[in-house]
Amino acid sequence: MQITFTKPELPKRGTLVVGLPQDGNLGAGAEELDRVLGGGLRRAIEGERFKGRPDQVLTLLAPAGSELDRVLAVGLGKPDELSPLKMQAVGGRIASALGRRVEGSATVWVESGQGSGMEAAEMAAHLAYGAILRAYRFDRYKTRKPGEDEENGETADVTLTGLEILCEGHQSAAERYEVLAKVAEGVHLTRDLVSEPANVLYPETLAARAKELSEVGVDVEVFGEAQMREMGMNALLGVGQGSARESQLVVMQWNGVPEEAAKGKTPVAFIGKGVTFDTGGISIKPSASMEDMKWDMGGAGVVIGLMKALAGRKAKVNAVGIVGLVENMPSGTAQRPGDIVKSMSGQTIEILNTDAEGRLVLADVLWYCKERFKPKLMVDLATLTGAIIICLGHEKAGLFSNNDELAKRLFDAGEAVGEGLWRMPLAPEYDKLIKSDVADMQNIGQNRGAGSITAAQFLQRFVGDVPWAHLDIAGVTWAKKDKPTVPKGGTAFGVRLLDRLMADYYEAE
């Protein structure tokens, strides 16, 4: 969708959107529109009992007194409660309301009201950001044209192609939005990757998609199985040994700090689980909903999207993104329950359940990252356990960390962008649950309890003293229903959160 910003001037034709606060004041733009409509806007507000609440949308079709096709009034809520996040939600609701109803572009008039702490330019930029996030669709495999299914009672595809946003300080709004749009590109990339079917996206093709980041200045290395075998990554390789697809390791580096200024400083690092399809292996999953396992590479997708966002907005930070890419399949060569593997760290692991595979991938990648890059911190993301959904549902991701400061910063960044985290415990009592009688550890706990915690305890054995956080995103990577800025499907949960973490705490001045 094309977004443009220009100075306020009431359009004569097309679709016009105005935001109305909950305090009853129309604002200068809405007042001018009401005069043109001969009081039609106020009459509609009163007739429909429109109060300006954030969840309210009022539509006037072919309003008398003008040549406009449609007027859309969107509730802004209380002026003193407006925030960037709430303006993003407004933009998302506008995109949702118009997306399947308007052919071409629409005009949105944005103005700050009394009591609002936000300037019109800031409001406009975040409204546009929310709209572009919500307008995302993964429809590349649909062959029907927009509108062809309407006669059968099905909804037409998106036809809205752009928004022209009117506001005071429109040039400032455009500059603010330019940065946000680069983050949105990272979000869209992650959603694309997570949505692809496993016959299209497997370790080698996902590595190739990551390699494309070299076009925006990211240095990308791809390692195959022979190289990983030399490194001793037997935990990762064991997961993929039942698949006809070769496993891959991808290392991405964004160097946004000049070499002289970066001397002596270590990068921040992000690690992603990339199981492009997870059958469970020999410990095979039930068939119901197994198709969802195409997005078991969600953590890797987030890391790739984050690197695109950081490079796109030229973030002043040195960052490393590493993803371990495997396909977990049952076959005559597949890993078996009872196998013992020696990880890159030298620690041995007894495999009791081949469906607890993500932690095996991350074990080697975390160790590799720690040893090669000596990072300032490491954050890993993984659709790791179903147990985290039992704990937190689909509303928040689980946060585990060995560092209180890092955990607090992640939590605050999540709250700022609407990607909530909830910290879970790590403790020696839980660590004892993965003690093995025949190896240094086993890959699942001794009973069904604390499944997410024992998985995190397993990972902690491979991070040493590096400040580290693990985000279990199993419950938030895929959405079954729409949210204001997140259409159902792949959410890209984590891209905005980690980008905000970098912007707030780790970028050079």
Catalytic residues: 285, 359
In the DSSP assignment, the letter for residue 486 is B
Q: Which residues are registered as beta bridge partners of 45? A: none
Three-state SS for 79-143 is HHHCCHHHHHHHHHHHHHHHHCCCCEEEEEECCCCCCCCCCHHHHHHHHHHHHHHHCCCCCCCCC
How far apart CA 56 and CA 22 sit, in angstroms, is 10
Q: What CA–CA distance (Å, rounded) separates 256 from 54?
A: 39
204 Cβ contact partners less than 8 Å away, ≥ 6 residues apart: 245, 246, 248
Residue 236 DSSP one-character state: H
Token pair, residue 50, equals 């429109």
With 0-12 / 13-18 / 19 or more C-beta atoms within 10 angstroms meaning exposed / middle / buried, residue 172 is middle
SS3 207: helix
Give the tokens for residue 453.
């915690």
Residues 32, 33, 36, 40, Cα dihedral to 10°: -130
H or E segment at 221? strand 219-223
Q: Name the residue among 50, 111, 103 with its Cα closest to residue 79.
A: 111
SS3 content of the chain, % helix, strand, coil (to 5): 40, 20, 40
Helix (H, G, I), strand (E, B) or coil at 493: coil
Please say whether the beta carbons of 456 and 400 come within 8 A. Answer: yes
> What's the one-letter identity of residue 244?
A
**433 backbone dihedrals φ, ψ, rounded to 5°:** -70, -15
HSE toward the beta carbon, residue 419, CA cutoff 13 A: 30
Pair 255, 219: CB distance under 8 Å: yes
